[in-house]
Each structure stands twice: as structure tokens, then as C-alpha cells.
Structure 1
Amino acid sequence: MRRGSCRSLLLTLLGFGVFSVASQWRTQVPEQALPVVEGRVVIAAPVLLTLFGGDRFLAANLETMRLAATGVDWGQADTGYLIRAQGEVAELNACHEDNYYLANGLLTWGGADREGTEVLRRAMQCRFWDEFPAFFYGFNQAFFNKDIAEAGRALELAAQRATDNAAGFRKLAVMLQAESFADEKLALEYLIQQRDTARDDPKLFQMLDKRVVRLQGLVALREAQRRFETANGALQRLDQLVEAGLLAALPEDPLRLGYELKDGRIVLKKMKIAGVEE
């Protein structure tokens, strides 16, 4: 046998021997569980800026497209993921129209009103020509935070920017100051309008419709609470509304967050996000 062939045979046998020893040793090592990564990956705004060559507008556009495509599964919004992703988009480009619109529809009315309203605040400051971020922000301040002064300031800003809706925004500000309406019913009307404007986008329409159903449940609960307290005094438990025959059953929240009695008033439960709870 030639010398070259012998050398090749020896190298082959040596390699096989090393492989056999390694395989035997590997079977003796306890198998370790693979690390589990919780939550979807959200790339920080500075990293995105670097990846897209310093073009923050391109980075914001592509990240908004990504979160719109990956943040919803079978009609259910991944609220925790959207909170983080939409916050990064707002860092890149607070003016982004799709980002503030989605934040208002999916975060604010999906149990994360504080985070959704923060995206709106940035958009209101950036989009000096656009009345709607200021309107959404003002409405949310009144409905969720009961901050009538801040709501009035934002609605006046919306009126100054408006082309056709100035009178309506100022009228709403006056009504808020006078506290002359049932805010949950006004909120329901407003949310129905938002849903109906999204009919050309079936996925968004479906998600906003879930929020309409959720708010309809709140309206029914508060109406039952008013009737209960007129006859029986302060409500102590939501179940009392069913026990008193005012409701056949407590409304089901399609977002599975539910309702709660807080400081004597029935409210929408908020989503609990680690690190950002009040």
C-alpha cells in the first residue's frame, strides 16, 4: 500500500476514534434544559437607528409594519409586546401616524391606557398640524384619568388645529367642565365611530369591535349599579347586580380582563405588565 493511502487511513481511524470518545463522554453529561425566552423580541430604538444607517423614519416605518404583522394573532393583540414595540417607534418618530392610531385603538382600550396615552402625547407634540392626536389624548385624560383640566387643554389645542371640527372639540371641553353627561356612553359612541372607520381593514375592525363589546359591558354594569344603589345603597360586590335581578349575568369581557369595583365605581380592569404597573 502506498504511503499516502496509509496516512489517509490512519487519519480516518484517528478521527473515528475521537468521535467515539466524544460521543461516549456526551452520554454521561446530564442534559441541560434550553433557556426559555419570554416575550417577543423588541429591538431598542438606538439599535434600530444603527441598523438602518441613521434613518429614523425608515426604521420607524419598518418597525411599525413588523409590529402590526406580529403583534396580533387570531384577532388577539399581544398587548405587552405592543407596549414595548410602539414605545420604541415613538422614540424613533413620534409623528408616525399609524403608530399613534394603533396605540389609541389597541393599547388605550385594551387595558394599557397609560402607555397608549403616552404615545398619543408624543404624537400631539410632534404633529402640530393634526387635530386627532390632541383629541384622542384629551378624551383619554377625561375618561381614564378624570383630569378635566388637561383634557380641556388638549381639546382646545385640537380645536386650534382643526379644519371642520373646532366647534365640536370646544363643545366637548365645555361639557367635560360641566360634567353634564354620562362619560361611559359618550366613550362608547366614540369607540363605535373608531371601529366603523376601520371597516376597510377587517383585522383592525375585529380588534376594535372587541373593545366596543368590552365597553358595552361597562355601560350595562354602571347602569345596573345606578339602579341598584337607588334602591339598596352602596354596591359592595358585582355579583349583587345579578342577585338583585338587575342583570341575568355579569358581562363577559372579550379581552378576558374583566371589570372591577374600585372606590365605589365599576371600572375596566387594566392589564398588569411587569415593571409598568401603577
Structure 2
Amino acid sequence: MAPVLGLGPIGIWSSWFRSDDPAEAGQIREAAAALEDMGFAALWIGGSPGFDHAARLLAATNRVVVATSILSIWQYEAADVAAREAALDPADRERFLLGLGVSHARFATRYARPYSAMQDYLTGLDSAPMPVPAERRVLAAIGPKMLGLARDRAAGAIPYLVTPEFTAQAREILGQQPFLGPEMKVVLDADLPRARHTARDYLASYLALPNYTNSLKRAGYTEEDFAGGGSDRLLDALVALGDVERIRTRVAEFHKAGADHVAVQVVLPQGQGYHQLLAQWRELAQALPL
């Protein structure tokens, strides 16, 4: 399996990276530099980020790959994205990875025919004065057709809210060469009932989005599994719950299933913030095979 931009096996995914709160700007720069020093291979910016969010992380680091996960095709025009990518400093461009996705109908007023829209968007990137090369873009694909598009017109796929079993199926569709970098949620808490409570609070909003529930139904889950923030069996499948040994085991399961890279997202209990997040990243960095 060919690495993308030299990505190593494990990165960090966080929607906090795209915070526009001026009071958090310094913490975000500090965290980005710390994560690079810890040895993580990539910083994945969640929450439909734009180039300004990526530029901030690129400026705060020197070696780590900075990736959007995901940039919504409804929110940013292809021509503008290609122009912004071309305007990056050449050294920064070498470690920037464009992650694209179709988002969800709830968040995009223009949402329609997402597969065709993504095809058109990629054509727009290809036809720009300075195109974004296929090997420097990845797609947030969880359906078979979108995975095929990620194989044929991008470097690969970055599926979100998936399991190792899904990862194995995605690898079959992609073939051996395209990049496969699933996101993996983590609740680093050895108290299982409390960990499930944290996960359930976080997952509830995702389980109201048809793109995700349809994918999970294809995997054999039912409406009963989606109620109340998720059944125990669904939580245990979608979130690595427990101590660092359990987290390490789940990462290994994703790699064994065919993932080239795993984007680890730490999920905290409500009310916890930056300092707890940084502490857990450090704990994972010491335990995981970076």
C-alpha cells in the first residue's frame, strides 16, 4: 500500500483545530507543534475546515502533514480551492493534503446528487490553471460508489465513523494501492460505563445523519442501535473504549483490516478541554506505534 505524502501509521483528528475563537489560537499553535514533536504523522482538521485553518497549522509546524477532514464541496468552490492550494508556500504545499467530502443535507442548502457533484468538483480541480493533483487529494467516502471515485480520481479514501470490518470492505473496493485512512474515535477511560456515557453523548448527533446511519445499516445495524445515542454494541464497534492497551489493540485491528493510516480522535467528557486533550494525546503518543 503506497503512503500518501509519506504519512506514517497514526495521526490526530480534531475539530478543535478549526476553532475560530481568538482566545484559542495560541493553544492551537502550541498543540500542533507539540503533536509534531510527539511523532504523530498528520493533523486532520475536522469540522469542514478551510484553507485558513490549514495555513495556521502549517505555520506552527515544520514536518507533519496537515489535512482537511473534511473540506465541504458545497462550502468552497473548486476554483478557489485550487487557487489557495497553489498559493501555499512550496514547502507547505508538499505537506498539505486536501480531504474533500459531500457533508450532509442538513448542513448544505445546495445539497443534491452528491456523487455527481463530487465528480464535477474533481473535474473543477483538474481544470484549474494550477490543478490540485489526484495524488494530493483524498475523499471522505463511506459508500461503494464514492469509494470507487476515491480509487479512480483521488489518492484514496478517509472514511469517518467506521469500523475495522468496514475498513476491510473498503480495502477490497479500493484495491491495494490507494490510500485508506479511516478516522477512529477514542475514549481513554478504563471505567466502561462512564466511557460509554461519554461516547453516547458525542455520537448522538452523528446518529441523526442519514449518510452515517445508511452506512451502518449496510453493516447490519438497525434503528434500535441508533436510539438514545447508540446501543452498547454500536458504541463498542465505533469507539475504542478503555485504557491505552485497548486503544492500541483497536488501532492494530484497523491496520490489519487494510488501513494505511488511522486518524485518532480523542473524545472527552463534556466540560473538559485543552489541557485534558493535550494530556491524553501525550499518553497515546507514548503507547502507540508512531
TM-score scaled by structure 1? Answer: 0.30
Question: Which structure's relative contact order is higher, taking Cα pairs within 8 Å and 6+ residues apart?
Answer: 2
TM-score scaled by structure 2? Answer: 0.30
More helix per residue: 1
